[in-house]
Copies of this chain bind each other. A is one copy, B any other.
Amino acid sequence: MAKPSNFELKLLRYLWQRERLSAREIHQASQVETGWSYSTTRKALDRMVAKGLLRIEQIHGLKTFAAAHSKLQTMAGLIKDFARNILDTDEPLPAAAFAHSKFIEPEEIEALGVLLEELDQDDGSNVK
């Protein structure tokens, strides 16, 4: 439901690849790209949990973070949002247009298309 910001998306990308990681691991993986201090990464993760973007799983007392929504689900939401707010169209965008995205695999394009059209159905309400 909540949309990740650009920077939050950067962190999400690591979680999508790795399933679930500790704060320290996420920080180390993303540090070069973000340039953030550990505190900043930490805070970002906390806020993402608060927004429902991440789930916490305790492992022997160590907090571990995992994406609450799948990559495709999230991407479909962002694409839909872009179509609605920026392009101002209700037609679902053709999934094929996103084939070049560095983290959408060819095999996933079809599933993305399905999600895009689904999102088009349940409108107004936010059920399902």
A6 within 8 A of B: yes
Interface residues on A, range: 20 to 34
Map CB proximity to B onto A18-54 as digits: 1 under 8 Å, 0 otherwise: 0000000000000000000000000000000000000
Contact B87 A6 (CB under 8 A): no
A14 within 8 A of B: no
Q: Determine chain A's interface SS by DSSP, over half rule.
A: helix
Map CB proximity to B onto A78-103 as digits: 1 under 8 Å, 0 otherwise: 11001001111101011011101111
Most chain B C-beta atoms within 10 Å of own C-beta, residue among A9, A13, A87? A87
Closest B residue, CB atoms, query A91 = B100
Map CB proximity to B onto A52-93 as digits: 1 under 8 Å, 0 otherwise: 000000000000000000000001001100100111110101
